[in-house]
Structure 1
Amino acid sequence: MKNTTYFNDKNVLVLGLAVSGYNTALLLFRLGAKVVVNDFKDLSDNKEAEDLKNKGIKVISGGHPMNILEKPLDFIVKNPGIPYSNPLIKKAMSKKIKIITEVELADMISESPVIAITGTNGKTTTTMMCEALLNQNRSEGKAYAVGNIGVPASLVAQESSKKDDLIMEVSSFQLMGTDKFHPSIAVITNIYSAHLDYHKNRKEYVEAKMAITKNQKETDYIVFNRDQEELTQLIAQGAKAESIPFSRKKALGYGTFIKNNRIMFNDEEVMPVDDLLIPGEHNLENALAAITVAKLKGVPNEDIKQAFNRFKGVKHRLQLVDTVNGRTFYNDSKATNVLATKHALESFSRPVILIAGGLDRKESHEELIPVLEKHVKAVVTFGETKSQLAEAANKAHVDTVIIKDTVSNAAREAFKNSEEGDVIVLSPACASWDQYANFEERGNDFIETVRKISQSI
């Protein structure tokens, strides 16, 4: 951690506890700031809040009282999930109080180079790929995946050194709260329309994403998706850093691209496309972005290939689980809507047995019919939506449609009805809350069932 006196005696409000707020408060207190924590929820039985109080940090909970702003504040560290339309935030902005998010704080104290990754889709997978590639056969230091993936960046930044790398997934919510945030390498995987319930409009959303590069210099790098014309224009108009493109569709000659089914970096072959274990064009784009970062950090091609030979995807996101008697199992429990399941099914060229179902939100599954017709040989359904999804499969003229009660029984039935060479994928197209606390629990149930199937062979 940098030896900084900037925070000494500063009056700081940490708005929103959660994991990042707790660590932010501890860090600021350690750096000599006068810290107050405020959370809208009642924290009377919260052990983290009690710990802060025991250390002498003031905690106010059960609302956002406006009188918090009456005492002078040097800045506010805001939980990214709290919108700028919040009355307390609006009042603070009218008083010209500086508002930042935890990633800005992490960047300010970090001795480690920061590699920041954003985009509408693919942030988490690209971040985890970068971590794997940069740690493969690494002789000094370590790459740490932090940020929006659930690991507070400021927590790791306190302990990491100049020999390490912080690979920081950053959302538009976090980037809106940055002032001097300055990654040495920035990555934008893609930009679509999203989170317009949080942002005032698409323009604000795009501006938030582009904030990742606003403080970069000519000696830094901005890695971007050349297949998106809008993003290409935004980079050309607004980035000072050296721009390094990647493309799934065009043989660029510069940057990272595909030529003759080989992944190229500039004029150098890195690896065959077919050596990537995780399926899908979207994951190929994520890999191209991660390879670009790895090459900029000097990772040898052989290490990149070795890392991808081990990388099976991010858990619950089209994750390769196992191959049992020639049947390959994928866990895509994160697919909690129809669009996500469509993308999953489109990732496979081999025959697919789909396991789907979950919470009944009274939504139509008709949009699945075309992709079921094209990619799926059998469907096994479960949960509250089992009948509706079975009906959609029948309309798509899927050969085999089976209704079961649980994920575990559905997985076993899928295996019974499979042949060597088939793909068996849990991609529910529904939320998990009818039978599980969350999609992670549902995915873990599937993984455990696959393990038991493998053991029984």
Structure 2
Amino acid sequence: MRRRALVLGTGRSGRAAARLLVSQGWQVVLADEDDRVDGVRLQRELGDGTEVCTGCHDLPSGPFELAVISPGFKRSHRWLEGLQRRRTPLVGELELGWRHIRGPVIAVTGSNGKSTAVQWIAAALREAGRSPRIAGNFEQGPALCEGVLTSPWADPWVIEVSSFQLEHSHRLRAEAALILDIHPNHLDRHGTVDEYVRIKLRLAQAVVPGGVLVVPESLRQRVRALYGGKTVSFGSDSEPAEFIFSNGMVVCRSGEEAVSLAGTQWDDAVRGRGAAGVIALLSEMGVGCREAV
């Protein structure tokens, strides 16, 4: 008998999770409360192995051996509470895809600039002769489940990770991670700034021993309680960070040549700090400062 899985949400992430599970022999129920979703069309799109339920008020009846959560579902959603009462194993779409990755991973989170950062990182690594692939929250790329269904291999995966995805992820693995500056955001979802920051910093726990974590200098002490390996910090010239943005330049305090950001979208006080973070990470990946821009 085929194993049965429930996927919550018919958006990009939910559809990708359903396709991945069906490819592995699961029987999938794809459920959404939104009655505006064309369930008949979606059923045709996904084909055999998937049952689509849209406009659902009640949690679909089981039993299910697994439930996959799309990022749009809050932890307090009544369906999740119902599944917990049933003791159904829960996993976020991002983590489901992550389980099938082959090859190293660079993960990126933060409040702003994540998509631009993952594009920059992938482009610089491609120039250096590697074969990166972008996935995750990045809107111009595939959800991670869709990406690994195409092929699980990349060198490396460069994955954009949102707070909504981190909220439902518990067992991620990355050889390197970049946490960009964190500003108050999505408080309607997370409730408080401290909870939002706490969820973002969970990415630090994904970095493997021997990996590297790049963080804002202001968060460096806090993340050391989460990750005991190598950390590299970025910031402004008033901070004791290894990589700083100052007067349109990214400067590495170890003595490597400064890099000008003049004429680029990163040449301002806010985005320049993010550029310092990206260059710090690429430096750890073996891409020199001048080659990074």
Q: Deviations over 1:334-378 (max 9, x none)?
A: xxxxxxxxxxxxxxxxxxxxxxxxxxxxxxxxxxxxxxxxxxxxx
Note the C-alpha offset of 1:78.
1.2
Aligned-pair CA distance for 1:296: 1.5
Instruction: Report if the CA contact (8 A) 1:257-1:288 is conserved.
Output: yes
Q: Cα gap change, 1:275/1:200 in structure 2, threshold over 3 Å: closer, same or farther?
A: closer
Which residue number corresponds to residue 177 of structure 1?
168
Alpha-carbon distance change, 189 to 140 in structure 1, aligned in 2, over 3 angstroms: closer
State the 1:239 CA deviation.
1.7
Given that 1:129 and 1:287 are in contact with CA atoms closer than 8 Å, whether structure 2 keeps it comes out as no
Aligned to 2:116: 125
- The offset of 1:80, in angstroms, is 0.7
What is the distance in 1 between the residues matched to 2:167 and 2:108? 14
Identity value in percent: 25
- 1:242 aligns with 230
Counterpart residue number, 2:18: 25
Residues in 1 aligned to 2:252 and 2:117: alpha-carbon distance in whole angstroms: 17
Which of the residues 138, 143, 153 maps onto 1:149?
Answer: 138
Shift of 1:38: 0.4
Counterpart CA distance in 2 for 1:16 and 1:204 is 24
Per-residue Cα deviation, 1:220-261 (whole angstroms, up to 9, x for no partner) = 2111011x2xx2232122223321111223464x63235787
Moved beyond 6 Å, runs of 4+: none
Partners of 2:191 and 2:256 in 1: CA distance: 44
TM-score w.r.t. structure 1 length? 0.58
Q: CA deviation at 1:185?
A: 1.0
257, 260, 264: which is aligned to 1:277? 264
The reply to whether residue 63 of structure 1 matches residue 52 of structure 2 is no
Q: Matched residue of 1:55: which SS?
A: coil
Superposed counterparts of 1:30-429, under 5 Å? 30-42=23-35, 43-44=37-38, 47-52=41-46, 54-66=47-59, 68=60, 70-136=61-127, 138-141=128-131, 143-150=132-139, 151=141, 152-160=143-151, 162=153, 164-226=155-217, 228=218, 231-250=219-238, 252=240, 255-258=242-245, 262-265=249-252, 267-275=254-262, 277-278=264-265, 279-304=267-292, 308=293
Please list the CA deviations of residues 292-317 of structure 1 after superposition, one character each: whole Å capped at 9, or x if unmatched.
Answer: 2211111234421xxx3xxxxxxxxx
CA distance in 2: counterparts of 1:289 and 1:269, whole angstroms: 15
- Residues 164, 64 of structure 1: alpha-carbon distance in 2 compared, 3 angstrom cutoff: farther
**Residues matched between the structures, number:** 289
Asked if the contact 1:107–1:114 (Cα under 8 Å) also holds between the matched residues in 2, the reply is: no
Distance 1:302 1:202 in 2: 36
Cα separation, partners in 2 of 1:45 and 1:235, compared to 1, 3 Å: closer
Letter in 2 for 1:245: S
Once residues 259 and 193 of structure 1 are traced to their aligned partners in structure 2, the CA distance between those partners, rounded to angstroms, is 24
- How far does the alpha carbon of each residue in 1:265-322 deviate from its partner, in whole angstroms, 9 at most, with x for none? 4524244334461232121111111112211111234421xxx3xxxxxxxxxxxxxx
- Once the two structures are TM-superposed, the CA of residue 219 in structure 1 deviates from its matched residue by 1.1
Q: Tell me: CA distance 1:293–1:158, structure 2 relative to 1, closer, same or farther (3 Å).
A: farther
Q: Deviations over 1:6-29 (max 9, x none)?
A: xx9543211001122111101111
Q: Secondary structure of the residue that 2:225 maps to in structure 1? A: helix
Which has the larger displacement, 183-192 or 262-271? 262-271
Query: For residue 134 of structure 2, what is the amino acid of its counterpart?
Result: A
Distance 1:74 1:210 in 2: 30
Superposed CA deviations along residues 169-204 of structure 1, whole A, max 9, x for unmatched, are: 111110011121112111111222221211243333
Query: 2:31, 2:85 → 1: CA distance?
Result: 19
- Indicate the SS of the match to 1:106: helix
Q: Does 1:15 align with 2:8?
A: yes
Q: Quote the Cα distance in structure 2 between the aligned partners of 1:139 and 1:94.
A: 50
Identify unmatched segments of 5+ residues in structure 2. Answer: none
Distance across 2 between alignment mates of 1:200 and 1:57 = 35
Segments of structure 1 that go 5 or more residues without pairing to the other structure are 1-7, 309-457
What is the TM-score with the length of structure 2 in the denominator?
A: 0.88
The 5-angstrom pairing of residues 423-442 of structure 1 reads none
Deviates more, 1:193-202 or 1:285-294: 193-202
Structure 1 residue 83: deviation in Å? 1.5
